[in-house]
């Protein structure tokens, strides 16, 4: 992904990257998009034999989700509304572009599902 600015809690981030369909990185900060679950990508420990039954391991849809999120975030300034850390130590946040919620966008495309 090319470099572009993000409006994040009053600070600009010039090094955004998309990890998968429900997580991004802003510099060294790992951000998990709140309230959604997107399919895992190959290599995810969640798709190991003993844990696979609980994970969404459709890799083709996982790639589509990642690519759709990447394209969505290029539409304009990205607003990150931080909610605190998740159980893995990432920042849990609502992410939006031009007032449109990234999670709702991916769910609408069938590339993520709501997670509570």
pLDDT tens figures, 14-46 = 678 999 999 999 889 999 999 999 999 999 998
pLDDT of residue 53: 76
Indicate the SS3 state at residue 110. Answer: coil
> What's the token pair of residue 95?
């992410």
Distance, in Å, from the CA atom of 46 to the CA atom of 9, rounded to the nearest integer, reads 31
Q: pLDDT under 50 in the chain at which residues?
A: 1-12
Residue whose tokens read 């946040």: 93
Distance, in Å, from the CA atom of 43 to the CA atom of 35, rounded to the nearest integer, reads 23
Distance, in Å, from the CA atom of 114 to the CA atom of 36, rounded to the nearest integer, reads 4
pLDDT of residue 13: 57
pLDDT of residue 91: 95
> What's the token pair of residue 70?
């990447």
pLDDT of residue 14: 60
Dihedrals phi, psi of 70, to nearest 5 degrees: -60, -45
pLDDT of residue 9: 44
Domains located in the chain, CATH noted = 6-114 (2.40.50.90)
């Amino acid at each position: 992904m090319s470099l572009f600015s993000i409006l994040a809690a009053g600070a600009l981030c010039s090094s955004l990257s998309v990890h998968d369909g429900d997580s991004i990185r802003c510099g060294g900060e790992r951000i998990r998009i709140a309230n959604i679950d997107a399919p895992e990508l190959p290599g995810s420990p969640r798709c190991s034999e003993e844990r696979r039954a609980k994970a969404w391991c459709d890799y083709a849809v996982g790639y589509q989700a990642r690519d759709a999120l990447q394209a969505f975030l290029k539409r304009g300034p990205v607003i990150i509304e931080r909610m605190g850390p998740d159980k893995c130590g990432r920042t849990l946040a609502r992410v939006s572009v031009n007032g449109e919620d990234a999670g709702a966008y991916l769910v609408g495309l069938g590339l993520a599902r709501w997670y509570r």
